[in-house]
Every structure is written in structure tokens, then in C-alpha cells.
Structure 1
Amino acid sequence: MVPSNEDELAKIVRDASGPLAVSGGGTRGVSVEGQKLATSGLSGITLYEPGALTLVVKAGTPLAEVEAALAAEGQRLAFEPSDLRTLMGSDGTPTIGGVVATNASGPRRIQVGASRDHLLGVRFVDGSGHIVKNGGRVMKNVTGYDLVKLMAGSHGTLGVMTEVSLKVLPIPQATATVHVAGLDDAQAVAAMSAALGSPYDVTGAACIDGTVMVRLEGFADSVDYRARRLAAELGVFGPATVEEADWQSLRDCTAYADRPGDVWRVSVRPSAMPDTVAALRAGGDVTVTADWGGGLLWVLCAPNRDLRRDIAGGHATRVRGADDPAIPRFHPEPATNAALAAGLRQRFDPRGILNAGVMG
């Protein structure tokens, strides 16, 4: 089912007699039982005010269309949403609603925050078929449920988004990346932490195969100055150079695309990265790429291995791999969090028909 407007969507949900498998472009490899319900028919930019850095867009609008419209005005989605089609071997078209529903956020999260931090307002249809609106077109405090933040990362379990309002930002004039090679995990974390604690306004800090990459963005003269200063300061960890880097590949984890095995996202405290990586390696052969200053680990491992048994603290989500009831996709929640989540689902989807089982 592909409704073409919000009222049609509300009727479909209201009249549903069984589970609904809600999706945007279907590019992230999540399999859900139920009648398929796609939001791709809800497409188009409702309002775009470049001067106010504000965009209102229907949830099924292709991400590429949104990015093209912003780029034409010298602007962008600052949170750098990932496109996992290459990694997942999937087709389809990523949608802005799918981006928000999964809270998809790339390397720039360490500076500007996640997708939810740029979400100003939402419209959605809840599990009873009611149309709900929350937020607006400017940042403001709210009382009661902050549904704007709640819907981001809910994976369609609380409601089917129909429209989102987003804050956007200008595209920087220049970009530079400082590289420091030949580091072990502890040295890499120390180097990334030093960069993030510097006054040079870092917008990306990652480590691939022992090479730390630190990104700077802004006006050309400023970027040049900051890159030279940062390279000099990071020189205490090893020879530092300023070179181009493929941040899009890091964002989309394309290095693992043609390699067999399962792929996981492991979130930990950056200071815990060395011990976490050591524990993962002790449990079997793994390949690890670190982002967010060491706070996010992309891990490639053998199929059907539950990495959660090998990590202490943090949480892990299986991004790619065969469905296995014994290894849930999402990290099991503590009892208190699970009770809160169940209460929210009961409030917004009392029949339990929206993407049932996706998040436990």
C-alpha cells in the first residue's frame, strides 16, 4: 500500500486488521512481518525558506531530492545522513522520513548533533489512525511529550511520519583533513580526543587501519590556518599530514560492502574504545573502524556472532546479517527503559500494529 496523502494513510491505519510493515525507501535491510505500507507516495517539499534555514518536507520525499534543493541554495543537512545501500546490497530510494525514523547521523554528529537535534516539527499518523502534529518551524521548549525528539529513531513503531520540519545549515567553503598514521588504539583515541578538545572546531574524528583522520570545515583561510595548527599539535603522536579523505565512504561504511560477514554498530564511551576493541578481537577475527572520536565502532565479524557477549558497557546493533531470533537486531533494553518504551508504544500504538517487533 502506497497512500498518496495523509488522510488516505490515516484511513489505512485506522482500518488495518493486522500488522503493518512501515517503510520509507526500504534501503536499510530491516525485515518486518505484516502488510507493506510505504510512505513514498507522500512526497514533495512543502516549504523551504533559505533565509530562515528552515525546510518542511513530506516524509516520503527522496533524500537526494532534498539534498539537491538545499545544495542549489548553498545549504545542506548538517547531520550528514548515511546511505547504506552499498553496504546492505539493497536498492530503493532513501527518503527523508526514513532518515528521521532511524535517526541516521554521520561523522559530523560530534559537532552538530544527530538528526533529532535538527528536527523542528513532525506530523504523523499514530497506531489508531489519528493525525498528530508536534513542534513547528523554530526551535522551542515544549511541555509534555516532546514528540519531535521521540519520533526520531523510533523506526516507525510509534507512528507513520507524514511530514518533517528541519533546520538546515550552509555548506562550508572549504574542507581539510589532518591524518596521523601508524597509531595503536590507545594512541588513536588520545589523538582524536586531543583534536576534539582543541579550539579548531573539528567536524569529524575517525580512525581507519591505525590512521586517525580529523576533519575541519569553514572559510578557506580559516580552514588552512586551523589545519596547519592542528597538524603541528597532533605531531606529538606521529607524522601529521593534511590530505584529502573520503568521509562519504566512512559515513556509509562502504569498505565492508564486498566483504562477507555481519556488520555491527557498537556505541561506547570513546575512552573505552581500546578495551572494547581488544575484547572484540579476543572473541574472534574482526575488522573495526572508529568514528565519533572512538564513540562509534563499525565492526565486521563472522556471521551469527553476538558481539554483545564480548563488550562491557555501551550497546551494539546488528546492521547487516541474517535474522536470528537468538541475536536480536537491537540491543536489549534495561528493564526500566523497556517498561518506558512499552508504555509509549501502548499510548501511541495500542493495537501493536506498527512495525511490530522491530525494537523488541
Structure 2
Amino acid sequence: MPWPLSPELLAPLAPWFEQAHRDLPWRAADLQLPHPDPYAVLVSELMLQQTQVTTVIPYFNRWLERFPDAATLAAADEDTVHKAWEGLGYYRRARFLQAAAASVAAEGWPGDLAGLAGLPGLGPYTAAAVGAIAFQWPTPALDGNAFRVLARLLLIEGDPKHQAAKLRDWLSPALKAHGPSRLTQALMELGATVCTPAPTCGDCPLGGRCAARLAGRTADIPPVAKRAKPKASTLWLVAFEAQGQFLLQAPVAKGLLAGLWRWPTFDALDHEAAPTPGSITTWPGWTQVYTHRREAVTPLHIGLAAPFTPAEGLRWVPRSELQGLPLGRRDQRLRDLLDAPGQSLLEAPDPAGLVRACAAPSA
């Protein structure tokens, strides 16, 4: 059965959005014109990838104060950029954002969707969103919220992402008819505030036209994707201190935690606890949850009489510099605990064994 025409079906969205939209700092006042600051749109879209709006707002405001334009961000050093991103997670977004800003600062903004998609970190959705919101191009942007809204509205069976190309073609005439920026943001807003996984259909401007609602199937459209069970591990997270310096893993160029400083970690299965003399302090542990793994973390502070020569990639850092280093959430937590009272451990992994694991090989 063919889908209804998008300009007519989505017509109620624009007036609803005018009344119901949230006041967000990256939104332009006039949605009929190109955005006055495309860079702000780029920043917001990269920050909003896999992160809630309420979390992003303060980061966005601080970021624009620190890096008000693409040229300023492009010229910043990596530690400064990662420090400004600290706590927002998925740190490669910060590196992509800086690389995209460098391209814009050097060559200007691309003139079409293919050019935007060629910027670092801008996949099909983000490029289309920036095109529509920043430049008023009729480029359909389909994120998780939009896919959910359209799957219910059109009663799409199975994963709506499998019909992404068809949905973009269907949506494009509505963008032209009702305004690319306005309709794109209205669709996102509806999915974020009304057509959520547990929708409030009575508040929806499209409720009377929604095929899934009329069929009583909003609970199973779209189907919930199955996630792999996170891999579990048990870690000792260790702050070695010697003569006012702490041992940390210096940032690496690639990987999940690229650009971040880290405390040494040890698998508890490889370093069983035993009665241990010496200056070892701990605090209550916690479970650190990531997309694909869960870590049961036990934080330790181990005091040493003198620093040792560290293995490659490890560095001694003065305590005075700790607050200025970009750390992930797990490692921030141990940094903050260092100023809080802890308790002595009667049983802990052998400090000598941990030191040997972190020391440079003997000549």
C-alpha cells in the first residue's frame, strides 16, 4: 500500500512545533532563514550524537564561550579540546569536531550535502541535519527519533532503517513545502518529547493520522532492537604516587579513549588480593557501564618512596597538573577521590607486582 503524500500528512507538525518547541540555545529565532551561525549547529549536532539534550546544553554553552568559531577551535591544542569535552563521553566526537572545524576554517563551508558528509564525523544523518538546519537545504535527516515517528505514522514493519532511502525520498517534498529547518526540528522534537518509546499519543499533532495508533500497535512499532550482553570485568584502578607525582597513561591517538589520560588498570583475576603491608588506600568501588562492557572498579592509592622509570606510554605527572588533564568519567572519579578520606586495606594486590607491570624493562 503506498504511503500518503508527506506534505499533507506532516502539515500539522509545523504549527505544533511553533507552540510546543523547547527553547534550546542552538536554535535560530527565525526558522525560515539559514541559521546565522552554522558552526553552532555543527557543534550541537556532534554533541547530541548519543547524548541527551539536557546533558548537552551546559556543554554547548561553555564550548561556544571557549571556542566561539571554527578558527578558534581549529587552533586549540588537543588537551584543551578534550578537557572542554570532559564528562560528555564518546570523545572521538571532539576530535571529529575539531577536524571538521579545521576544514571549515581553511576552506569554508561545503556547498552541498556530499561536501558536508565529507567532513570528519559527519555521517549521513548529521550531514543532512546540518544541511537542513544550518542552510535550509531539503536534506532529510533521519535519527532514531525520526525513524520511530515515521515507522509508527506509516506503520512500517520491521526495522525502519532498512527503508531509509525510501523514507528520505518520501520526506523531501515535505521539507520543501514546510521549510527544511522547521520540519526537521519538528520531527526530532516530536520523537524526543511525544512519540517516545512509550508515547503520549493524546498530545501528538499527528495522532489522528498515525497508522500504528489507529491499529493499536504503537507498543510494537518499531520493534525494540536486541542488544548484546555487555562483557563484564573486575578492575583495580590504581593511582601510584611518589614524591608528589602520579603515574598516568598518556593519551593515545586511536581507540575508544583516544586523547584522554588514564590511570593504570589491572585485571583483578590476574592480581589476586593478599595480606599486603604498606601505604595502600581504597574507597568504595563502583560499576562503570559502557555500551559494550561493565567494569566492577576498585580504586586504589599506592604510595611509593620514589618514582620508578615507567614503561612506554606511562608518565609521572605532578599533582598540581592533575586537574588540567582530560580524563574519562571513570578516571575523573579516582582523581576526585584522592582528596577524600579513604581507608587502609589489609588485603590488596601486591604493590611490587603492580609496579613491575608498569616499569620499563631493565636494561
User: TM-score if structure 1 supplies the norm length?
Assistant: 0.26
More helix by percentage? 2
More strand by percentage? 1
User: TM-score if structure 2 supplies the norm length?
Assistant: 0.26
- Larger gyration radius, structure 1 or structure 2: 2
